[in-house]
Chains A and B, each alone.
Chain A
Amino acid sequence: MTTTPLLELRGINKSFGAVHVLHDVDFAVYPGQVTALVGDNGAGKSTLVKTIAGIYSADTGQRYFEGEPVDIHGPRDAADLGIEVVYQDLALCDNLDIVENMFLGRELMKGPQLDEATMEARARETLASLSVRTVKSVRQSVASLSGGQRQTVAIAKSVLWNSKVVLLDEPTAALGVAQTRQVLDLVRRLADQGLGVVLISHNMVDVFEVADRITTLYLGRVAADVATKDVTNTQVVELITAGRSGDLGLASV
C-alpha cells in the first residue's frame, strides 16, 4: 500500500487484569477504503474499537493519525481528530427528529436560541450528499423510522462533523435484506467520498461485498491483513476460526 494510512495502530497491547486481550495488534485504515474487521466472538474486535475510540487506553503501542504520532486519552480526543464510532445499539433518541438527533450535543446556536434553520439545511445537505433517498422528511421523529433508516441517520450523524474515520459496529446485524442493501450502499459511498471506513461484521457476504481490505483477529492477534480480492470466503472463515489458512495467518498457535 503506497498511500499513508489515515489511522494506524502499531503494536497495541491491552490487558484487563490477568487477561491479555490484544497482542501486538497492528491495524491500519486507509482513506477511501472500507476495512473490514472480522473475528469470532471474544477475538478482541470490540476492545480494539473501543481502544481506537479512546474509551480504553492501550497498555503499550503507538497510534498515528495521517502519519503523525498522536495520543488519544479519551473519546473527546478521538472525536477531535475526526474519528467517529457508530455503535451497534444505535445512540439515537426516539423522541427527537432526525435533525435534532444529528446535532445532539453539538447544536448550532444563534444567540440564546437554537439555529434550527442552519441545522436543518446542513442535515439535509449531508443526507443528500450520501444519496439518502428513503427518508420522508428530515423533520420526522426517529421513532417512525425503520431499522435501516435509523442506521442511516446514525451514520449520517457521524459524517456531519467532517469526520475522517468512521467505525461501524455491526451496522447490518438487525436488518432485513432491503435495509442491509441501503446501509451497505451507504458504507460504500462513505469510502468513495474519501473517508476511512472500518466495518465490523460477522456477515461474510457483506464483508466481501463492500470491503477493500480484511483484517482478521484471532484470539487477540492479527491473523491476517489482506486485500479482499486476494482471498476467498473459505480462507477468511478459516482465518477467523483457526487463525490460519494455508500460508496465510499466524505461523503457529
Chain B
Amino acid sequence: MTTSSTGTQPAQNVGSGLADSDFAIDARQTTTLGEAWQAYLNRLRGGDMGALPATLGLVVLFVVFGSLSDTFLTALNIANLITQAGAICVLAMALIPVLLLGDIDLSAGVAGAVGAAVAALAIDDHGLPWYVAVVGALVVGMVLGAFIGALVAKLGIPSFVVTLAFFLALQGVLLKMIGQGGSVRVADPVLRGITIKNVPVTVGWIVAVAVVVLFAALALLRHRAQVRRGLAHQPLSLIVVKIAGLAVVVLGLTALLNVDRSRNPNFPIQGVPYVLLVVGALLVLFTFLLSRTRYGRHVYAVGGNREAARRAGINVDRIRISVFVICTSTAAISGIIAASYAGKVSPSSGGGNTLLYAVGAAVIGGTSLFGGKGKARDGVIGGVVIATIANGLGLLNQASWINYVVTGGVLLLAASVDALSRRRRSASGVS
C-alpha cells in the first residue's frame, strides 16, 4: 500500500508550492472506458458491490419468468408489476436513512397505515379535500417519527425495542380508528387514481424526455466543471454510456406503457401509471437529500462512525431523530399508495409482513443493516425484486408457500452477499 518513495524523502524537503510533482500519484481521472471498466471490476473485487447483485437478480427473474410465462412480459403485466411494487418501494426508501444509521424501524408499515387511515377518514368522514388529507397523514407520520426518534436518541432505548412497541401499539390504534372488522374505503379520485389511473400518453412522453434531457444536461455540465477545475472525474464516454442507459430504460418503459394494453378493444388502457411518477419523484428527492446535501453527508457520517461524527461537531441526536421523522412520514405516503391499490384501509393494513418485506427490499438492493452503506435507489431496486417474485410466481399459479420460500431465499442470498462483501472490504482495507 505504501509506496517506497516517501521513505527516502528527506524531511527538510518541504512541499510548500503546488507543483504537480508534489501530488503526482493522485489519480484525477480514468481516461478511457476500458480503464473505467477495470476500476469498476477492482471495486467489485474489493467488495463494493453496489446495486449489481440486485440488478443481476432482477435480470435473472425477468428471464426466468419471461420464459416460463407467456403473460409475464406483456405490457399489461409490467404495468401491474409497477403498481404492485409502488408501496413497497416507497416503504423501503423510507427505511434507508434509518438503516444508514444502523437502526431499524419495525413500526413504519403500521405507522404508514395509520397515516393512510387518517387521510381516508379525513376524506370520508369530514369531506376534506385530498391534499389536506395527505398533509394530515404526513403530519401524523412526522409526529410519530419524532416521538420514536426522541425515545431512541434521548432515552437511549434500542430502536428495535422502541419500534417493536410502536408496531404493536399502533395496530391497536388502527383498530380503534377503523373499528373491528370494518374498513375505510379510499374512493377519492385522486388518491385512488395513484394506482388505477395512467398519465396521458403525451404528458408521459414529455415527462420521460424531460427526465432524460435533464439528467444528461446535469451530468455533462458536472463533467465539464470537473475537467475545467482539474478534479477527479469519470471519462466522458462512461457518462455517455450512463445517459444512454437511462434513456433506454426510461424511454423504453414509457413506450411500452404507452401502448394500449387493454384486453377489451373498446376500453383502451394506456399510459404510465401515476404511481411510477410518485416513486420516481421520491427517488430523486431522496437521492438528492442523501448524496448532495450537508444533512445527507452527516447521516452517512453518523452511520459510519458515531464518535467521529460527534467530534466533528455533528449533532448526533438531532440526526437520529430526523431519520425517524423522515422514515415515518414517507411511510405514510407508502401507506396511502397501498390503500390506493387496495381501495381501502383495513385494521390489518401495514401489518404482517409489510415492513419486513421493505427491510428485505432495502437489503436486497444493497443497503447494509450494519449502517453507513446504502442508497435511495436500493429501496426501489429491491422493492421491484420482491414485487417481481410475487407477481411472477402468481402468474405461474404457484402455491403461496413457494412465494414465501423464494422471497426468504432471495433475502438470505442478498444478506450473504452483503456479509461476504463486507469481509472482502475489510480484507482489502487493511492491506
Contact = CB atoms under 8 A, between A and B. Distances in A.
Interface of A: 76, 87, 89-96, 100, 104-107, 109, 112-114, 117, 120-121, 124-125, 127-139, 143-146, 148-149, 178-179, 181-182, 184-185, 188-189, 192-193, 210
A134 B25 contact: yes
Interface residues on B, range: 35 or more
Contacts of B7: 178, 181-182
Contacts of B207: none
B26 A138 contact: yes
Given A136-B25, A179-B2, A87 B429 contact: no
B6 A182 contact: yes
A127 B23 contact: yes
B301 A96 contact: yes
- Of B1, B7, B27, B307, most buried by chain A (CB within 10 Å of CB) is B1
Nearest to A97: B232
A182 B11 contact: no
Contact of A117 (B4, B27, B28, B231): B231
Interface in B296-321: 297-298, 300-301, 303-305, 307-309, 311-314
B56 interface: no
Contacts of B14: 131, 189, 192-193
A114 B297 contact: yes
B353 interface: no
Contacts of A133: 3, 5-6, 9, 22-25
Contacts of B9: 131, 133, 185
B136 interface: no
A131 B313 contact: no
B382 interface: no
A143 B429 contact: yes
A113 B292 contact: yes
- Of A94, A113, A128, most buried by chain B (CB within 10 Å of CB) is A128
B32 interface: no
Nearest to B311: A91
A149 B13 contact: no
B265 interface: no
B383 to A, nearest CB: 23
Given A138-B26, A144-B429, A94 B2 contact: no
B16 interface: yes
Contact of A104 (B230, B297, B426, B430): B297
Contacts of B313: 76, 105-106
Nearest to B23: A128
Given A87-B311, A133-B3, A192-B14, A96 B300 contact: yes
15 contacts: A91-B307, A93-B308, A105-B298, A113-B293, A114-B292, A117-B231, A124-B26, A129-B18, A131-B9, A135-B25, A146-B2, A149-B1, A178-B4, A189-B15, A193-B16
Contacts of B430: 146
B280 interface: no
B372 to A, nearest CB: 4
Nearest to B302: A93
B373 interface: yes
Contacts of B4: 178
B263 interface: no
Interface string B197-236: 0000000000000000000000000000110011110000
B308 A104 contact: yes
A188 to B, nearest CB: 4
B304 A94 contact: yes
Interface in B362-380: 372-373
A36 to B, nearest CB: 15
Contacts of B5: 133
B311 A114 contact: no
A128 to B, nearest CB: 4
- Chain A to chain B: the 5 pairs with minimum beta-carbon distance, closest first: A131-B15, A105-B312, A93-B304, A95-B304, A95-B372
- Of B300, B304, B311, B313, most buried by chain A (CB within 10 Å of CB) is B304
Contacts of B304: 93-96
Contacts of B431: 146
A125 to B, nearest CB: 6
Contacts of B24: 133
Contacts of A146: 1-2, 430-431
Given A91-B307, A124-B26, 6 more contacts: A100-B297, A100-B300, A107-B294, A133-B3, A137-B27, A146-B1
Nearest to B27: A137
Contact of A105 (B15, B27, B46, B314): B314
B428 interface: yes
A186 to B, nearest CB: 9
B266 to A, nearest CB: 50
